[in-house]
Structure 1
Amino acid sequence: MDLEQAMQTFLEESRELLDEMESILLDVEAEQTSSEQLNALFRTMHTIKGSAGLFGLDPIIRFSHQAENLLDQLRDGKLKLDDELVGLLLRCHDHVKLLIQALAAGDSLEALSDEALEAALLGYLTVPQAMQPPTREAPPPAASRPERWVLSLRFGPDVLRNGLDPSSFIRYLATLGTVEGIRAIVCRLPAGADFDAESNYLRFELLYHSDIDEKSLHEVFEFVREDSELFIWPLKIAAARLPESCASATPDEAREVEEAWRRFGALGQAQPLEEEPPAGIDPLLEHPLAATVEPPPAEPAQPAAQTEPHAPPPPETAPAHSEARAGRGGESRFIKVEAGKLDSLINLIGELVIAGSAANLIARRSQQPQLVEATLGIANLIEQIRTGTLSMRMVQIGEIFHRFPRVVRDVSRELGKDIQLRIVGAETELDKSMVEKLGDPLLHIVRNAIDHGIEPTEVRQAHGKPAQGNLWLNAYHESGSVVIEVADDGGGLDRGRILAKARERGLLGLDEEPPDNVVFQQIFEAGFSTADQVTNLSGRGVGMDVVRRGIEQLHGNIEIDSEAGQGTTFRIRLPLTLAIIDGFLVEVAASTFVLPLEAVIECIELPAGLPENGVHDCINLRGELLPLLHLDSFFELPPAAALRRNVVVVQYGERKAGLVVDALQGEFQTVIKPLGALFNTLKAISGSTILGTGEVALILDVPSLIQRACRRESERFSLPPRADAAPRPGAPLQGNTP
């Protein structure tokens, strides 16, 4: 039994349950609370408590039990879910999450007790039945009086292999009531070489005394219900249910079960339990399995005819209790894989792509048709494997989007604003490695939108706006990229103030009148801030430069659209993956470059007689003005003699440009290799790859090239700066250097 693996499973499932709990609590604030949501909240805390009981995690058990009592009263209608109670439950969520994190880090759980939170919980518990025993003057209602139960438990044969110990369930039951009698049925225990130490052969019969209801008893065995036969009956009706409990038992096993139930008093007068193992809880908890195994009893003194009732009843008479043994059915549709193993597989496939390209090149040079055909078939299979493997690393961006409802709730309440978050496109998929790195940039943008973008309620009402502000998180695919938008309906960016601050810091010239997109980009400069006062959320000029740097490290870019009085949209564009892409090979002079295939729209021949670097270095593409960028001049490469030159039309977002190259070499599966720190400042290069010949080809950064071509063309139409105007610090020099 791999307890460490079982613990990791508990930690992961607890995190998922806590995320679900937080999502439900944030959803119910905006709409009518349903009984399904309340039941889901209760199940979340109940499942964490039950799982913690399997590992003996007392601090988690104690606190989650108190939270469970509160949620139980909530779903029973004794409490109403208002904003204050939602806040308390979110604090409970945070505390349990803190305990889970401490458990994962190996820290002490006892040191994390929160007495103030526990006191707040006790203040809400109007009828804490499980914590306060009834007084003699006021007997408990009939529904809550302790009752005896007969539990017949046959855990599945693989329960030990799945990391679960049957005795742990009995230990947990002992914390909720009293195990008055227990007997292990050993008829199916093989001898000799047939015995498998990792298989479960035992069946347990229990006499149990507790005030919890039947539904709660069934929930104790939620984790093993699928592969087990579990029967739970009140003692007073157990006799009528014996045939159903023994429906799948062998004759010997059925006789032992019947004998155990007779000793429990389920089949009439109870027999003395002196021969039974000690009924007290302490010896049971010390070694439950060793204390419960008994030798097979003597043959029951009853006629053979009395064993006939062991036949199963007709299906139509089967009670609802029989559903407890029905599994959830169907095989699992998902399997969890360690992320490191998947990354290693991606790296190996990348090397396979490079090796396949080399083999394909050798085959073409050999001019052997059969060899060429074989390598093409292998290349096709490699492409399919590559696509399938990369899709396994794609996750929905909702994984990070769903973190922000809590952020919006807490920050908006701290600022006294009423803000509604709306999420669109959470199902959009992106490479997992990129999703993990998007959290911090998006957090900065969202917090700034709440703090600076959306106005206070009184300001919005004074301008005729609804009192409640809106914040949108949107994601969608576009031209082989993923676009993520953070939009608000606030007051918009103050263009004049940003421009004045940029001029004051020397970022823009005093006589410059740049377009809006250039002005708005200044907020990403380090230390740039227009806030009048510093708050604990923003105002220090720290954060937005980190946002741009984080996005650029993912080979993406960020744009801003803003309209005064209407709102602001931050638009992030990212590639789908950073591992392997479909590329398009082009030749410039004696060098080979790779363009991402999803950015390539079409290829055309460069019109003859077009002057290079003329007054207007652009062409008319079916009525559309297309700026050109000559890559040989841009990279300062020696011109090559070519019969014809070609234009590769590329697009990123709404912008297009034409890259002038000498030759087109076609599609190429590109394994992205990072460049060293020496090349980090090059805007036109995003990485490198290895060709089939073993040579290195540079991967071009299409967004930077398009921006360069469009900016140069716009500068040619703009008025030249005054001769006495000093260049601003950091301004690019004129020319074609990258």
Structure 2
Amino acid sequence: MAQPMNMDDVLQTFIAESRELLLQMEDALLQIEKTPQDLDTINGLFRVAHTIKGSAGLFGLMPIVEFTHVAESVLDRVRSLEVRVDEALSALFLDARDHIGQLIDLLAEDGHLERLDEALRVQGQRLAARLALYLDAPVATASAHAQEHPSAVDQQAGVDHWHLSLRFGPDVLRNGMDPLAFLRYLGTLGQLLHTVTVFDPLPPLLSMDPESNYLGFELALASDASREVIDGAFDFVRDDAQVLILAPQASIQAYREHIDALPEDNAVLLELLVLCGTLSEAQAALVTQEGEPASADAPGEPDGGQDSTAPSASTAKGTLNSDSNLIRVDAAKLDQLINLVGELIIAGAGANLVAVRSGIGEMIEATSLLSRLVEEVRDSALTLRMVQIGATFTRFQRVVRDVSKELGKDIVLHIRGGETELDKTVVERIGDPLTHLVRNAMDHGIEAVSTRLQRGKPAQGTVRLNAYHESGSIVIEVSDDGGGLAKDKILAKARERGLVGDGQLPAEKDILNLIFEPGFSTADQVSNLSGRGVGMDVVKRNITALRGSVSLESEEGQGTTVRIRLPLTLAIIDGFLIGVGKASYVIPLNMVEECIELASGQGAESGFLDLRGDVLPILRLRDMFDVQEPGGNRENVVVVRYAGVRAGLVVDRLQGEFQTVIKPLGKVFGEAHGLGGFTILGSGAVALILDIPNLLGLVAKEATHRSIPRLLSTQ
């Protein structure tokens, strides 16, 4: 007996799928503004609107169905070349896309659309009226269609194209018929939207007969031809083929009967229908779960003409095509998995410690194998959370388009490194800081067209987003070719606010970093985008909360680059364990360059070492943390590097590599600079994780002021 369908799960699938489709729609609209004659992009736009409308109809979401139906009708005229996409129509469709997104967000929040906000309802009506101007006659709304056919919403899957399943027999070639010729003929009746080849009957190469046919096809055909005309195309091959035809707007029951009449596994066939664009994922879920599967002797399709006496499909579940074998996983489940892996690492470290203390060789070997396997599980689990940053970058195409029009500037966005991967949590939390930086680049950085022409620059300004990996971190750059930062103006403003004394002349880097001070702004006037001194300090605070850092480079008249460095993951890292006194500390392993022995008294007075001819500043952790316990017979220097800055940390003991589960410090340690969290050792003791970027900043101050701040006592 079929399991009862969980409508909440299917609705969540629809919401997630619709949001992905709306992102595709936004990208396509921005692309069409540049290439208005790109038919592939236009057809993609139509399929997006059509899929959302059809899926929404399954749930009776009439506000979405009615509005999307009008947009779909206009897009149908666009793809038939009756209406040309210009800047005004593209802008209108972007507004329509935003309205559908608002409806989806409301659906996600309330679970229904029964009570629309009046402002949202009026907004939809106005947009629909503007879209209807591109139609020759008033468009019949989906609600009117539903009144004429009350069961349409419940029974139709909502596709407007024909779907054909073709299974040519093994002797079709011997009888002088070419399967591809039938596909070419169908192309004369309309447009073949999708063609998927079915390879399941293909035998091993050695047993293959070159004169036999083993292939079938799943086709999506957009055509105004009747069923009789389409079916008549196969009159000459009727005895050597199985031909199944699904009419547009076929019922859910018709889909179920259709797949049951074919020889392949039902799950595989549903996947093929999704690949062809005939069903969405939400519709496929309904076909799979609604009611009992149709039996082999069920009546044919209600829209006629198809014999359903073919053998019933096998109940065994086949293996899906590897390219489409993807599943959706709740992010909360991934978080739970990472937490459990973290606990497993701590428990494994404890078991390894007990094995070493026991001195039993077999136990040590077993725990060593366990540690290696746990490390592989950790890497696999973290990979599940890694996503490409390209999707986040692409969303800024819309930001640049809208803001440049608001500012009256001609600005283009260039993206590089979109394939760079990092933790999903980091991607989600970096969006707001990047938005502020991109807006700042357009508002403060890029000059007006007249100014750019006077300076000998192209009229079109450029904002660049770039991402790449460097030393175990990800670097994100936001740059522009604008006027750069006016250092004299920044310094004057800082002196006006008392941030810099009248007699002080900070280094260039320190002057640029003043813009990260709370409330700091050099804007001459307040605009809708900036000028109130709110934002850059929030950007830095948000990036610091991700254990990252931000730096600036600017050249007046040439442009500015903001460089953000972030960890690849926020959960588990490879660490290097060190000891100072009785306490243990962890340094991220990717920041460790080398370890050297420190001769007695070396660098004690100067604070520097001669490392193979290079001057290396050092920081004694014993002094910084005010450790009073005696150390060992010798000291060691751990050479660390971050963002091109190198320094040495003087420690008592080197304890080797250590898988580190990062846990956040409590609020009471909020002012303890130089610490990035803590971890639990196998012995149950706590080890603090050093914040290397912060410590390197302290090294720079130590070199200038010859003083060591006491941050935290271990006593």
Fold shared, TM-score > 0.5 on shorter chain: yes
Task: Tell me how far 1:597 sits from its aligned partner.
Answer: 0.5
Counterpart of 2:9 in structure 1 is 5
Note the alpha carbon deviations across 1:596-632, whole angstroms, 9 max, x for none. 00110111111444141x2x31112223221111110
1:348 aligns with 2:340: yes
Counterpart of 1:580 in structure 2 is 572
- The verdict on how the C-alpha distance between 1:61 and 1:577 changes in structure 2, with shifts beyond 3 A counting, is same
Counterpart of 2:375 in structure 1 is 383
Alignment of 1:671-710 (within 5 A): 671-710=661-700
Q: Distance in 2 between matches of 1:368 and 1:289?
A: 61
Identical pairs, percent: 50
Alignment of 1:647-726 (within 5 A): 647-715=637-705
CA contact (8 A) 1:49 1:64 kept: yes
State the AA in 1 paired with 2:62: D
Q: Distance in 2 between matches of 1:737 and 1:680?
A: 15
- 1:421 is paired with a residue whose SS is strand
Counterpart of 2:228 in structure 1 is 235
1:41 aligns with 2:15: no
CA contact (8 A) 2:702 2:708 kept: no
- The verdict on how the C-alpha distance between 1:483 and 1:503 changes in structure 2, with shifts beyond 3 A counting, is same
Counterpart of 1:51 in structure 2 is 55
- 1:124 is paired with a residue whose SS is coil
Which deviates more, 659-668 or 73-82? 73-82
State the AA in 1 paired with 2:649: L
Counterpart of 2:617 in structure 1 is 627
Counterpart of 1:514 in structure 2 is 506
1:736 aligns with 2:709: yes
Task: Tell me how far 1:439 sits from its aligned partner.
Answer: 1.1
- The verdict on how the C-alpha distance between 1:56 and 1:496 changes in structure 2, with shifts beyond 3 A counting, is same
Counterpart of 1:545 in structure 2 is 537
State the AA in 2 paired with 1:555: R
CA contact (8 A) 1:583 1:595 kept: yes
Counterpart of 1:412 in structure 2 is 404
- The verdict on how the C-alpha distance between 1:53 and 1:642 changes in structure 2, with shifts beyond 3 A counting, is same
- The verdict on how the C-alpha distance between 1:621 and 1:54 changes in structure 2, with shifts beyond 3 A counting, is same
Q: Distance in 1 between matches of 2:8 and 2:26?
A: 27
Structure 1: 5+ residue stretches without partners: 133-165, 178-212, 220-225, 251-256, 258-287, 298-306, 313-326, 717-733
- 1:104 is paired with a residue whose SS is helix
CA contact (8 A) 1:102 1:108 kept: no
Counterpart of 2:546 in structure 1 is 554
1:469 aligns with 2:455: no
1:124 aligns with 2:126: no
Task: Tell me how far 1:128 sits from its aligned partner.
Answer: 6.8
Q: Distance in 2 between matches of 1:711 and 1:296?
A: 82
Q: Of 338, 347, 357, which aligns to 2:349?
A: 357
Q: Distance in 2 between matches of 1:236 and 1:360?
A: 74
- 2:82 is paired with a residue whose SS is coil
CA contact (8 A) 2:548 2:565 kept: yes
Counterpart of 2:79 in structure 1 is 75
Task: Tell me how far 1:566 sits from its aligned partner.
Answer: 0.5
Q: Distance in 2 between matches of 1:28 and 1:328?
A: 34
CA contact (8 A) 2:586 2:687 kept: yes
Task: Tell me how far 1:54 sits from its aligned partner.
Answer: 1.5
Q: Distance in 2 between matches of 1:172 and 1:349?
A: 42
CA contact (8 A) 1:425 1:475 kept: yes
Note the alpha carbon deviations across 1:453-502, whole angstroms, 9 max, x for none. 11111111111110000001111111111111100010001111111111
CA contact (8 A) 2:446 2:481 kept: yes
Note the alpha carbon deviations across 1:190-225, whole angstroms, 9 max, x for none. xxxxxxxxxxxxxxxxxxxxxxx9879999xxxxxx
- The verdict on how the C-alpha distance between 1:239 and 1:84 changes in structure 2, with shifts beyond 3 A counting, is closer
Q: Distance in 1 between matches of 2:367 and 2:497?
A: 60
- 2:551 is paired with a residue whose SS is strand
Task: Name which one, 1 or 2, has greater alpha-carbon Rg.
Answer: 1
1:534 aligns with 2:507: no
- The verdict on how the C-alpha distance between 1:367 and 1:119 changes in structure 2, with shifts beyond 3 A counting, is same
- The verdict on how the C-alpha distance between 1:461 and 1:584 changes in structure 2, with shifts beyond 3 A counting, is same
TM-score of the superposition, structure 1-length normalised?
0.73
- The verdict on how the C-alpha distance between 1:502 and 1:170 changes in structure 2, with shifts beyond 3 A counting, is same
Task: Tell me how far 1:30 sits from its aligned partner.
Answer: 3.5
Q: Distance in 1 between matches of 2:475 and 2:705?
A: 28
Q: Distance in 2 between matches of 1:698 and 1:63?
A: 56
Q: Distance in 2 between matches of 1:65 and 1:244?
A: 38
Q: Of 491, 495, 501, which aligns to 2:483?
A: 491
Q: Distance in 2 between matches of 1:328 and 1:126?
A: 45
Q: Distance in 2 between matches of 1:441 and 1:603?
A: 36
Task: Tell me how far 1:227 sits from its aligned partner.
Answer: 12
- The verdict on how the C-alpha distance between 1:229 and 1:474 changes in structure 2, with shifts beyond 3 A counting, is closer
State the AA in 2 paired with 1:13: E
Instruction: Give aligned pairs, total.
Output: 585
- 2:56 is paired with a residue whose SS is helix
Q: Distance in 2 between matches of 1:59 and 1:217?
A: 31
Q: Of 22, 27, 32, which aligns to 1:28?
A: 32
CA contact (8 A) 2:607 2:617 kept: yes
- 2:672 is paired with a residue whose SS is coil
1:460 aligns with 2:452: yes
Alignment of 1:197-276 (within 5 A): 234-235=227-228, 238=231
CA contact (8 A) 1:102 1:109 kept: no
CA contact (8 A) 1:593 1:698 kept: yes
CA contact (8 A) 2:356 2:364 kept: yes
State the AA in 2 paired with 1:737: R
CA contact (8 A) 1:428 1:476 kept: yes
Let me know the Cα RMSD of the aligned residues: 3.6
- 1:29 is paired with a residue whose SS is helix
Q: Distance in 2 between matches of 1:586 and 1:710?
A: 22
Counterpart of 2:257 in structure 1 is none
Counterpart of 2:263 in structure 1 is none
Q: Distance in 2 between matches of 1:85 and 1:385?
A: 51
Q: Of 438, 453, 471, which aligns to 2:430?
A: 438
Q: Distance in 2 between matches of 1:543 and 1:622?
A: 44
State the AA in 2 paired with 1:85: L
Q: Distance in 2 between matches of 1:330 and 1:634?
A: 55
Counterpart of 2:280 in structure 1 is none
- The verdict on how the C-alpha distance between 1:5 and 1:214 changes in structure 2, with shifts beyond 3 A counting, is farther
Q: Distance in 2 between matches of 1:249 and 1:669?
A: 59
Structure 2: 5+ residue stretches without partners: 143-150, 162-187, 195-215, 245-253, 255-289, 300-305, 312-318
Task: Tell me how far 1:688 sits from its aligned partner.
Answer: 0.3
Counterpart of 2:628 in structure 1 is 638
State the AA in 2 paired with 1:371: M
Alignment of 1:177-192 (within 5 A): none
CA contact (8 A) 2:192 2:219 kept: no
Q: Distance in 2 between matches of 1:522 and 1:681?
A: 20
Task: Tell me how far 1:127 sits from its aligned partner.
Answer: 6.6
Counterpart of 1:196 in structure 2 is none
State the AA in 2 paired with 1:423: I
State the AA in 2 paired with 1:118: A
Q: Distance in 2 between matches of 1:369 and 1:87?
A: 72
CA contact (8 A) 1:59 1:109 kept: no
- 2:477 is paired with a residue whose SS is strand
